[in-house]
């Protein structure tokens, strides 16, 4: 019997991930705990193992597509299994699919099954009502996504069903079984239409198009009004091909008293056909959400300063070759990180977090200092743990490990979580001044500018060539005032401009 493997919870708050690589193919024999796929969340690369011995029957996603947590990832013919009491045996030419309860309203995580409109063994057709469920807002009718035969109902009448959890399973029948390239998980991406008793569908002409949720999704992506399409199906049902053909059809402008409006529509249609839509997913989608959350809830202020790096550049230059022979890559970053930790000892407010209600500040004993890494999959911010206990060489080794792992897409969940303050080395690419966005829920971030050789006056009035770096701080003004960040930056700067004082403080 083919059994669907549901993508499990792979991290707190994670609801989807990108399928990076399949490690098996359909027809492959797998054993329990064998890696089947690599998936990328917004925090780390995760390897998904098989839960059983068996043969891979179907892979529901292509490489690069987005998979939803608690939705079918692949199906497997399990060795030495038999049908459950509540399900019907699967014929040799059948394919069992599990229907996951989709999102049925903003903020809704569960609902009550008011009534089942089908029974085990019933044949169903696409869009046929399967169940009535009651949320805390409305009565919602759940339709079938495709034709088949009901094999199992996972919830009893009156029971509570969870969003993204199995609601029922069915055996795909006929032509749909052979051509089913889109898994039932597509239902998760669409909000189910509520029943007429609770919600009135208000379209421009009060006409409701007859179409499946999958077709409606395509129409939304193409910005097409379904009510304007003459469906080719029974009773005017609109199919996916109808939507695509409608979107490709030339726009015919009908002369009216005011011809300006149709002309605008034609221009918009032309623009639509020549543009390209690319989904925002994975790390980039996570970064977008994080940045919006930060700038919309944290009052940022920026403080800029310049640091004379001449002594530190020379100090590192004297040590670089020695440690390189030992396989240690000694960059400037370990010095920035260690100096920051030493300064935090005097200003612990920089290593704190403000709660969501803005009425409590939590101070952290460990200095988990993050560093932004520009990887091939997007911006990643791993952090060096417990910097206060590490030497500069320890930090250098950890920086090398985290940087290499980030660029290979192999960072762990632990590497990405628990950061308390962040350094962004944007100057490695260019630029001097920046306005970095705080990595919420942290309270500060610093951006390092590029290292420049600039003229500066010496104490005796002579002009010298010095190694100068501009740094730009952003702070959470609810927690940190300007005087505090200025004093903190001055102490951090003093360690960097005088490496000997840094070493003395460490001892």
Q: What whole-number distance in Å separates Cα of residue 222 and Cα of residue 481? A: 48
Residues 338 and 442 in one domain: yes
Residues 296 and 405 in one domain: yes
Residues 170 and 71 in one domain: yes
Residues 434 and 311 in one domain: yes
In a domain, 487, yes or no: yes
Residues 331 and 307 in one domain: yes
Helix axes 333-346, 392-407, angle to 10 degrees: 120
In a domain, 196, yes or no: no
Q: In the predicted model, what is the mean pLDDT of residues 18-24?
A: 89
Q: In the predicted model, what is the mean pLDDT of residues 414-430?
A: 92
In a domain, 234, yes or no: yes
Which of 172, 187, 202 terminates a domain? The answer is 187
The residues that are catalytic are 477, 481
**CA distance readout (Å), 245 to 209, 224, 272:** 16, 11, 14
In a domain, 81, yes or no: yes
Residue with tokens 């911010």: 381
Q: What whole-number distance in Å separates Cα of residue 180 and Cα of residue 170? A: 13
In a domain, 269, yes or no: yes
In a domain, 324, yes or no: yes
Phi first, then psi: give them for residue 395, nearest 5 degrees: -65, -40
Interacting residues of 210 by C-beta distance below 8 A, sequence separation 6+:
127, 231, 233, 235, 236, 237, 238
Residues 40 and 110 in one domain: yes
Q: Are 456 and 404 in contact (CB under 8 A)?
A: no
Each residue's pLDDT tens digit, 60-105? 999 888 888 888 999 988 765 444 334 444 444 568 888 888 877 6
Count Cβ neighbours within 10 Å for each residue of 424-436 and write b for 16 or more, e otherwise: bbbbeeeebebeb
Which of 251, 274, 297 terminates a domain? The answer is 274
Range of 26's domain? 2-187
Q: What is the pLDDT of residue 186?
A: 37
Nearest partner of 141 among 153, 150, 152, 129, judged by Cα: 129
Each residue's pLDDT tens digit, 299-333? 999 999 999 999 999 999 999 888 988 889 999 99
Residue-averaged pLDDT of the chain: 81
- Entry pTM: 0.55
Residues 165 and 308 in one domain: no
Residues 412 and 499 in one domain: yes
Task: Identify the CATH number of the domain in which residue 344 sits.
Answer: 3.30.559.10
Exposed, middle or buried by CB within 10 Å (0-12, 13-18, 19+), for 208? Answer: middle
Beta strands (DSSP E) in 261-317 are: 300-308
In a domain, 398, yes or no: yes
The tally of domains found in the chain comes to: 3
Beta bridge partners of 148: 124, 172
In a domain, 105, yes or no: yes
Residues 476 and 453 in one domain: yes
Interacting residues of 378 by C-beta distance below 8 A, sequence separation 6+:
282, 283, 284, 287
Q: Which stretch of 33-47, 93-107, 392-406, 449-463 has the lowest confidence by average pLDDT?
A: 93-107
Residues 268 and 293 in one domain: no
Residues 127 and 258 in one domain: no
Residues 293 and 268 in one domain: no
Task: Identify the CATH number of the domain in which residue 171 sits.
Answer: 2.40.50.100
Task: Identify the CATH number of the domain in which residue 226 sits.
Answer: 4.10.320.10
Judged against a pLDDT cut of 60, whether residue 177 lies above it is answered with no
């Amino acid at each position: 019997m083919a059994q669907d493997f549901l993508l499990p919870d792979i991290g707190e708050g994670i609801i989807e991930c990108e399928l990076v690589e399949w490690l098996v193919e359909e027809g492959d024999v797998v054993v329990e705990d064998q890696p089947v796929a690599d998936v990328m969340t917004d925090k780390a690369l995760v390897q998904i193992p098989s839960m059983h011995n068996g043969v891979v029957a179907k892979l529901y996603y292509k490489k690069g597509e987005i998979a939803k947590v608690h939705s079918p990832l692949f199906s497997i013919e399990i060795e030495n299994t038999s049908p459950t009491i509540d399900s019907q045996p699967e014929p040799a030419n059948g394919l069992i699919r599990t229907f996951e309860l989709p999102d049925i309203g903003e903020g809704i995580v569960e609902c009550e099954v008011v009534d089942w409109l089908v029974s085990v063994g019933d044949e169903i057709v696409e869009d046929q009502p399967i169940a009535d469920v009651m949320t805390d807002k409305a009565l919602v009718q759940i339709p079938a996504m495709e034709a088949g035969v009901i094999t199992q109902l996972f919830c009893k009448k009156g029971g509570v069903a969870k969003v993204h959890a199995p609601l029922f399973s069915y055996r795909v029948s006929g032509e749909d079984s052979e051509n089913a390239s889109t898994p039932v998980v597509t239902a998760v991406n669409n909000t189910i239409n509520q029943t007429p008793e609770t919600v009135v569908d208000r379209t421009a002409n009060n006409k409701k198009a007859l179409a499946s949720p999958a077709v409606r999704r395509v129409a939304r992506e193409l910005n097409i009004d379904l009510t304007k399409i003459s469906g080719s199906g029974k009773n005017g049902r609109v199919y996916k091909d109808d939507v695509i053909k409608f979107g490709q059809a030339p726009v015919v402008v009908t002369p009216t008293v005011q011809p300006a409006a149709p002309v605008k529509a034609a221009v918009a249609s032309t623009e639509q056909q020549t543009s390209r839509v690319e989904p925002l997913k994975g790390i980039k989608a996570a970064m977008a959400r994080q940045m919006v959350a930060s700038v919309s809830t944290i009052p940022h202020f920026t403080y800029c300063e310049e640091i004379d790096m001449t002594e530190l550049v020379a100090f590192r230059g004297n040590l670089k070759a020695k440690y390189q022979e030992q396989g240690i890559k000694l960059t400037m970053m370990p010095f920035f990180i260690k100096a920051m930790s030493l300064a935090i000892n005097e200003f612990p407010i920089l290593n704190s977090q403000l709660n969501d209600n803005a009425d409590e500040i939590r101070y952290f004993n460990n200095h988990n200092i993050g560093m932004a890494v520009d990887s091939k999959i997007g911006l990643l911010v791993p952090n060096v743990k417990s910097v206060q206990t590490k030497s500069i060489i320890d930090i250098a080794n950890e920086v090398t490990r985290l940087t290499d792992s980030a660029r290979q897409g192999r960072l762990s969940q632990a590497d990405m979580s628990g950061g308390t303050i962040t350094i962004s080395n944007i100057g490695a690419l260019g630029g001097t001044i920046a306005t970095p966005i705080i990595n919420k829920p942290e309270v500060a971030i610093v951006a390092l500018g590029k290292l420049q050789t600039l003229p500066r006056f010496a104490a005796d009035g002579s002009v010298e060539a010095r190694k100068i770096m501009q740094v730009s701080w952003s702070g959470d003004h609810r927690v940190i005032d300007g005087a505090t960040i200025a004093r903190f930056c001055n102490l951090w700067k003093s360690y960097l401009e005088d490496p000997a004082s840094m070493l003395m403080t460490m001892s």
